[in-house]
Structure 1
Amino acid sequence: MHTTNQSPIYLIAVGAFALGMASYVTAGLIPMIEASFTVSVAVAAQLVTAFTLAYGLGSPIFVALTPAHRQRTGLLLALGLFVIANAASALAETFTTLMVWRAIAGIGAGVYLAMGIGASTAVSSPERRGQSIAIIMGGMASGVVLGVPLSLLIADQMGWQAALWLVTLLGLVAFIGLILKLPALPAAAASSLAQKLAILGDGHVLIILLVSLLAAIASLGMYTFIAPLLADPAYGAVSSVTPYLWVWGIGGVLGSFLVGPLVDRIKGPVLTFIIMVILAASLLVLPLIAALGTWLVMLPIVLWGAVGWALQVPQNNELILARQAQGDGNLAIALNESALYLGSAIGAAAGGFVLLLQMPTWTLAACAGGVASLGALLQIVNLRRQQNWTCDVRAQLHN
């Protein structure tokens, strides 16, 4: 079903904005939550773990269990669950209750994003599919970059609960709008759970997921350690990393939105390869440029943020195209989200290990750049696969 009506896509993006806020705001609320429930920082930090684990592990399971003919209902239920869980989190009277509701919010968020991207492509014409995914990823990036600082300012004035009420309100606006504006979605091909698990045997999908995993290890892993690198006297001795995080985030918003028209013009695997090469280069030059000047280093940081966020637009588009016939594109996107969260966790752990070995801080950027380079090399396999596929199709047409 194709329509020129873009309003459902923008409404899905409003929900994605709320989701971006919810994913990252908890880290900033930890000191307030710690004081509110008299728990240690280490315990309060587990709220982030609960949300991300439930998001990364729970969402593919629930997407797989959603009936093929209930895509619209599944999307609305996931968003409804996300809204309720955030409201319940704000009302939580014990730390354990808060932890449970953060995990439930994580499941709702993961299922909503996967099904939202799937829905946006279902209501778009094929030539606007990449742009639709870009609008949603841009909404999520904006939630992280603009929404998180805004909600933390509100939380400073009105308490940590206020930040979660803001997430709830935005989610509710998207929910009501989608009930009114989202048309019926075409039913996906009905398949058993065993058939859905067959996605893990699709070599093309596995390479796409592996490239996403390596990109997340490099990009999100390095993001965790941007402060120790720039605090090093050899690389600027920066006292506050906040302006650099802002620059990274603004790059992310720009990259997410600007990549949309490119996805519809450049073949997906080619665009992903270009992005991975730029990501590797921007990470590898980070210490070199930081040594030259604290302002100059903002250039590779904005580029890194832009390509790091932009990557998921062609990746999600490729996954939908790869699994369109089998009708489990939403599951492929959910698995891609899991790859990103897993990559972020591996990147943070690996960076911690590098610091534990007391290696010079430039090795953080060198390792991240090396992992991104590995992703670019792996992407060549997808490029060759597509060339072979194109040759096969041409041969068949010729015969």
Structure 2
Amino acid sequence: MAGLLPDVAGDLNVTESSAGQMVTVFTLCYALAAPFFATALAGRPAKVVLAVALAVFTLGNALTALAPALPVLLLARALAGIGAGVYSPMAAATAAGLAGPERRGRSLALVMGGMSIGTVVGVPIGVLLAEQVGWRGTLWLITGLGALALAGIAALLPRTEAAPPPPLRERARILTDGRVAGIAFVSLLGGVASLGLYTYLAPVLEDAAHLDQNVWALWAWGAGGVLGSLLVGPLVDRTKRPFTVVGAVLLLVVLAHLALPTAAPAAWALVVPLVVWGAAGWALQVPQQHQLIAAQPRHSAVAVSLNSSAVYLGSAIGSALGGMVLAAGLRPASLPYCTAALAALGLVLHLTVVRRFSRRTVDDGDETGVTTPAAAPRASAARR
């Protein structure tokens, strides 16, 4: 929807900052739905949960295409966000479970690669299609693709045994575990910085480089996302150092955002920070999910859903704050400096708070762990 903001705003006679709140509503409902439904639906077959989630998501997109005014549009995006919030973490946990621990990074990268390819293809094509059939026509295409994906899940996904739902005390322990909370908070800051800025990429480029045609910039960002999400999984599997990979990725996000306003006037130079930003932003969640699954191997779906919730809560916060600061008069070209500072804060917390908690546990491939008697049974379970 980020690429369609100008069209939606013009059609509904609202400002772009107001139209941008449909991204806020979507991501906020995504964030709230993920942990709640992961707990409520725990124990049900993954195939059933994924199919229901896709059905809700598809219905939300259909209602978006029919929305006559902004309030209805926001309600429709909320419904779509709930469906996406249930689907994405369950997809990651299911893929990791089907692949096994030795190929966990590759399986998570495959799921994230599908999402990034959908973005790199979907956003620019959506913009081009909207020029021909309007933004509503684009949403009808998305609705049709959602129905096709639903049919694919029903026909192709094997039915697997569901893990028993964790008791309430165990769920609370997962949510209050210091290491899990630290990883999730870093993911939240990454979402604020990366996805929050992406929501307003069009006005940022228009202000910084006077570009009113930004489809090529969306392609560049998305192409980087595909590369990052597909390459990071094998990298994590090979190095067994997800902690180090997260630190490097966050540093790249900071550098790319700082370079964006300076490089914007020259199109050839702007491609570099866009590709790096897209690659790093999409790559971040694979090692994060890897660490969470290793930290909570028995309840990986709950842990991954918490991280997914944090990412999209960050996106909701980022798009909301971005709309507020732009409405308050900040130049859009200055927005990347703000998001770079938030990504830098995430890097600092990763290198301090997360490292401190990581030293108390042992997990698959985290070089910061130190074996302790209390951690040994969980490490053994993670290896199995």
Q: What displacement does 1:262 show?
A: 0.9
> Which residue of structure 2 aligns with residue 286 of structure 1?
260
Letter in 2 for 1:85: G
Are positions 1:372 and 2:346 aligned together? no
Q: What displacement does 1:355 show?
A: 5.5
Match of 1:134 among 106, 109, 120: 109
RMSD, aligned CA? 3.3
> Which residue of structure 1 aligns with residue 227 of structure 2?
254
Which structure 1 residue ranges, 5 or more long, are not aligned?
1-22
Residues 289-342 of structure 1: per-residue CA shift (max 9 Å, x gap): 457x442232122111110111111112222222222x2x22322222322223
Question: For structure 1, which segment, 263-272 or 243-252, has the greater mean C-alpha deviation from structure 2 after superposition?
Answer: 243-252
Question: Structure 1 residues 96, 347: closer, same or farther in 2, change over 3 A?
Answer: closer
Question: Structure 1 residues 108, 159: closer, same or farther in 2, change over 3 A?
Answer: same
Question: Structure 1 residues 299, 109: closer, same or farther in 2, change over 3 A?
Answer: same
Letter in 1 for 2:371: D
Q: What displacement does 1:97 show?
A: 5.5
Letter in 1 for 2:338: C
2: distance between equivalents of 1:360 and 1:121? 43
Letter in 2 for 1:250: A
2: distance between equivalents of 1:127 and 1:168? 36
Question: Structure 1 residues 214, 67: closer, same or farther in 2, change over 3 A?
Answer: closer
Residues 79-137 of structure 1: per-residue CA shift (max 9 Å, x gap): 22223333454456787655544322221111011111111111113222111111221
2: distance between equivalents of 1:392 and 1:103? 44
Question: For structure 1, which segment, 113-122 or 382-391, has the greater mean C-alpha deviation from structure 2 after superposition?
Answer: 382-391
Question: For structure 1, which segment, 44-53 or 256-265, has the greater mean C-alpha deviation from structure 2 after superposition?
Answer: 44-53
TM-score by length of 1: 0.79
- Contact 1:120/1:132, CA 8 A, preserved across alignment: yes
1: distance between equivalents of 2:55 and 2:197? 34
- Contact 1:220/1:347, CA 8 A, preserved across alignment: yes
> Which residue of structure 2 aligns with residue 167 of structure 1?
142
1: distance between equivalents of 2:176 and 2:358? 18
Aligned-partner SS, 2:161: coil
Are positions 1:273 and 2:273 aligned together? no
> Which residue of structure 2 aligns with residue 8 of structure 1?
none
Are positions 1:62 and 2:37 aligned together? yes
Q: What displacement does 1:24 show?
A: 4.6
2: distance between equivalents of 1:89 and 1:276? 34
- Contact 1:225/1:351, CA 8 A, preserved across alignment: yes
1: distance between equivalents of 2:200 and 2:15? 19
Which structure 2 residue ranges, 5 or more long, are not aligned?
362-368, 378-384
Question: Structure 1 residues 278, 91: closer, same or farther in 2, change over 3 A?
Answer: closer
Letter in 2 for 1:204: R
Are positions 1:185 and 2:160 aligned together? yes
- Contact 2:2/2:198, CA 8 A, preserved across alignment: no
Q: What displacement does 1:172 show?
A: 2.2
> Which residue of structure 2 aligns with residue 82 of structure 1?
57
Are positions 1:306 and 2:279 aligned together? yes
Question: Structure 1 residues 89, 69: closer, same or farther in 2, change over 3 A?
Answer: same
TM-score by length of 2: 0.82
Match of 1:392 among 359, 368, 371: 371
> Which residue of structure 2 aligns with residue 30 of structure 1?
8
Letter in 2 for 1:392: T
> Which residue of structure 1 aligns with residue 311 of structure 2?
340
Question: For structure 1, which segment, 160-169 or 380-389, has the greater mean C-alpha deviation from structure 2 after superposition?
Answer: 380-389
Residues 375-398 of structure 1: per-residue CA shift (max 9 Å, x gap): 11211233454455443259979x
1: distance between equivalents of 2:280 and 2:247? 11
- Contact 2:25/2:316, CA 8 A, preserved across alignment: no
- Contact 1:65/1:193, CA 8 A, preserved across alignment: no
Q: What displacement does 1:249 show?
A: 1.9
Question: For structure 1, which segment, 102-111 or 185-194, has the greater mean C-alpha deviation from structure 2 after superposition?
Answer: 185-194
Question: For structure 1, which segment, 262-271 or 85-94, has the greater mean C-alpha deviation from structure 2 after superposition?
Answer: 85-94
Question: For structure 1, which segment, 199-208 or 133-142, has the greater mean C-alpha deviation from structure 2 after superposition?
Answer: 133-142
> Which residue of structure 1 aligns with residue 171 of structure 2?
196
- Corresponding pairs, count: 366
Percent of aligned positions with the same letter in both sequences? 41
Question: Structure 1 residues 321, 254: closer, same or farther in 2, change over 3 A?
Answer: same
Q: What displacement does 1:247 show?
A: 1.5
- Contact 2:24/2:315, CA 8 A, preserved across alignment: no
